[in-house]
Amino acid sequence: MTAGDRPPRKFPLPLDRLRASPRASPTPTRAGASAAEALPRPQRHGLAAPSDLHRRAPPAGLGLDSADVRRRMVDRLRAGGVEHPQVLAAFATVARHLFVDPALATQAYEDTSLPIGYAQTISKPSVVARMLEMLFAGQNARTGGSLGRVLEIGTGCGYQAALLSELARRVISVERLKALHDKARELLAPMRSNRLRLVFGDGMRGHPPGAPYDSVIAAAVGGDIPAPWLEQLAVGGRLVSPVEQEGGTQALVIVDRSEAGYTRTVHGAVRFVPLKSGLA
């Protein structure tokens, strides 16, 4: 074949330059196949793509089920300053990739927040770890060696609820979006934890039937801390929540309750989705 009688080229790559020498090429040439068909085709590996489209479970073969992947995340958390052994052990135990969309599973052990649908996000592991560590420094948690009775506002996909149930005697997690509440219920079902209770409701009101709480943790940010959370905090209990600051920034706020009253301290900058009232 000469350059003159070649069909018009549809593909922008100069495929004829990719031709290996006849002896080196392992590509079998069918009798009657044209020289163009015998060329190595880089797109041939894409033939498996249609079957990938129908994949629902996290991609297999990525090693995400391995405890090693989580151990590496724990090493990074430790290098970033997280020290509490129980907090680190919980991160080594709970499989974060099962809580995110299969298409995002490969990013599940990176230190990043990820979308969980309905305009919400699963928080960054380093921020969750920091908040859990802050809760452990509360008076009741220090003396009890556990987070005790916990109220979580904003179940989302349930990842943080799974961590909490490794660290507490009892966890009540409230979510205002029915679709996410149902999704978390489904994802957490295999854990069969009788320490964890998921509630569909407006977390701005806390959850009075489970009060008082030794630890309160919010995964959504508001202009201030709702009064019911403070009322439902046990004496010796600690609350950790993002709160909007002047100038549109957000910071983590800790509130400790003692016999004498409430003490509030403001910590580092964070970024959370908004706390909203009512159900949806």
Among 219, 239, 240, 252, indicate the residue that binds ligand SAH (CB under 6 A): 219
Here the tokens at position 144 are 């009890």
Nearest to 96 by CA among 190, 159, 167, 181: 159
Considering the candidates 51, 66, 113, 123, report the single residue annotated as catalytic: 123
Residue 277 is a catalytic residue: no
Residue numbers 123-142 binding ligand SAH by CB under 6 A: 123
H/E run at residue 135:
helix 125-136
Reported residue count of the chain is: 280
Query: Whose structure tokens read 């295999």?
Result: 190
Among 25, 29, 263, 277, indicate the residue that binds ligand SAH (CB under 6 A): 277
Among 73, 188, 196, 202, indicate the residue that binds ligand SAH (CB under 6 A): 202
- Please tell me the distance from the alpha carbon of residue 229 to that of residue 211, in angstroms, as a whole number: 9
Residue 120 interacts with ligand SAH (CB under 6 A): yes or no: yes
**Spatial contact of 130 and 72, defined as CB atoms under 8 Å apart:** no
Nearest to 232 by CA among 223, 241, 245: 241
- Please tell me the distance from the alpha carbon of residue 65 to that of residue 96, in angstroms, as a whole number: 10
Contact pattern from residue 171 through residue 200 relative to ligand SAH, giving x for each residue in contact according to CB under 6 A and a dash for the rest: ---xxxx--x--------------------
- Please state whether the peptide bond connecting residue 274 to the residue before it is cis, i.e. omega within 30 degrees of 0: no
Residue 273 interacts with ligand SAH (CB under 6 A): yes or no: yes
Sheet strand arrangement including 233-244: 196-200, 170-175, 149-153, 213-218, 233-244, 250-258, 261-269
Which of helix, strand or coil describes residue 187? Answer: helix
Nearer to ligand SAH, 127 or 141 (CB): 127
Contact pattern from residue 48 through residue 77 relative to ligand SAH, giving x for each residue in contact according to CB under 6 A and a dash for the rest: ------------------------------
Residue 154 interacts with ligand SAH (CB under 6 A): yes or no: yes
- Nearest-5° angle of CA 90, CA 95, CA 96? 100
Residue 241 interacts with ligand SAH (CB under 6 A): yes or no: no
Residue 122 interacts with ligand SAH (CB under 6 A): yes or no: yes
Residue 160 interacts with ligand SAH (CB under 6 A): yes or no: yes
Q: What is the DSSP string of 18-55?
A: GPPPTTT--PPPPTT--TTTTS--GGGGGGGHHHHHT-
CA 197, distance to chain mean position in Å, is 20
Residue 204 interacts with ligand SAH (CB under 6 A): yes or no: yes
Query: In the complex, what is the shortest distance from the CB of residue 230 to ligand SAH, in angstroms, rounded to a whole number?
Result: 15
Phi, psi of 151 (to 5 degrees): -115, 120
Nearer to ligand SAH, 166 or 202 (CB): 202
Which residues on adjacent β-strands are paired with residue 71?
none
Residue 253 interacts with ligand SAH (CB under 6 A): yes or no: no
Query: In the complex, what is the shortest distance from the CB of residue 172 to ligand SAH, in angstroms, rounded to a whole number?
Result: 11
Query: In the complex, what is the shortest distance from the CB of residue 69 to ligand SAH, in angstroms, rounded to a whole number?
Result: 18
Among 157, 167, 188, 234, indicate the residue that binds ligand SAH (CB under 6 A): 157
Which residues belong to the active site?
123
Binding positions for ligand SAH, rule: CB under 6 A? 116, 120-123, 153-154, 156-157, 159-160, 174-177, 180, 202-204, 219-220, 273, 275-277
